Amino acid sequence: MALRPDLAIIADAVPPSARVLDVGCGDGELMEALRAKGVDARGLEIDPANVTAAIARGQSVVQGDANRDLADYPDDAFDYAILSQTLQTTERPDLVVGELLRIAPRAFVSFPNFAHWRIRLALLWGGRMPVTRLLPVAWYETPNIHHVTVSDFRDLVRSKGIRVERVWHLSGDKPTSDAAASWRAEHAIFLISRA
């Protein structure tokens, strides 16, 4: 079973024996890959069907809401927090990023880049909110309530004094160069840490 490319990058970058919280862990796919390499992975997931599926495969997952329930974890409870494809669905992405770096010194944050050229073109020519492979739902029913671009995220972490340790840009599920990533990346993964 092949992991989604962004998850594969994260699974590869987490060192074995690290303690990890996967926020929005879905049915535990990434956690399974992490545990296979010896990572102590735990999850937080809002959808009870996903939580049930993850527990049924032997994962430690708590049903909860990233907007609220990260507060229950103590400071430095983990080595890494992971928020993949979830940032844009949170009520206050800035506060969630702050929480991630409270419960762990480092965090992986991945999100679809709303400034990808295809989205820009769709908006420019179509004049309508783009529906793409990574953002496949119409504006009125999308869970993605805070669309964000690579540049926006860089601005946010800079303003909060957060350090960017590493960035991966993906286009069509393949790595793409950092040059002109704002246009060319469909998808970005940031490894951030406390300054």
Partner 1 sequence: MLPLDSGQSLPSVTIAWQSYGALNADRSNAVLICHALTGDQYVASDHPATGKPGWWARMVGPGKPIDTDRFHVICANVLGSCMGSSGPATPDPATGAPLGMAFPVITIGDMVRAQAMLLDHLGIDRLHAVIGGSMGGMQTLAWAANYPERLERALVIASAARHSAQNIAFHEVGRQAIMADPDWQGGQYYGSARAPTKGLAVARMAAHITYLSEAGLTEKFGRRLQARDIKSFGFDADFQIESYLRHQGLAFTDRFDANAYLYITRAMDYFDLADPHDGRLAGAFAGARDVRFTLVSFDTDWLYPTAESRRIVQALQSVGAAASFVELSAPYGHDSFLLDVPALDRLVAGALGSVF
**Residues at the interface with partner 1 (CB under 8 A):** 40, 42, 48-49, 51-53, 55-64, 72-74, 77
Q: Say if residues 56 and 118 touch (Cβ distance below 8 Å).
A: no
Q: Which residues, at least 6 apart from 131, have a Cβ–Cβ distance to it below 8 Å?
A: 122, 137, 138
Shortest distance, position 130 Cβ to partner 1, whole Å: 35
For partner 1, give the closer residue by CB, 48 or 172: 48
Shortest distance, position 75 Cβ to partner 1, whole Å: 11
Query: Dihedral of the CA atoms 175, 180, 181, 185 (nearest 10)?
Result: -70
For partner 1, give the closer residue by CB, 37 or 57: 57
Nearest CA among 106, 109, 134 for reference residue 119: 134
Determine the Cα–Cα distance for residues 194 and 192; give it in Å rounded to an integer: 7
Determine the Cα–Cα distance for residues 35 and 59; give it in Å rounded to an integer: 9
Shortest distance, position 97 Cβ to partner 1, whole Å: 20
Shortest distance, position 51 Cβ to partner 1, whole Å: 4
Residue with tokens 């974890």: 73
For partner 1, give the closer residue by CB, 52 or 67: 52
Nearest CA among 135, 154, 149, 160 for reference residue 183: 149
Q: Which residues, at least 6 apart from 146, have a Cβ–Cβ distance to it below 8 Å?
A: 87, 88, 89, 90, 93
For partner 1, give the closer residue by CB, 68 or 128: 68
For partner 1, give the closer residue by CB, 61 or 170: 61
Shortest distance, position 106 Cβ to partner 1, whole Å: 18
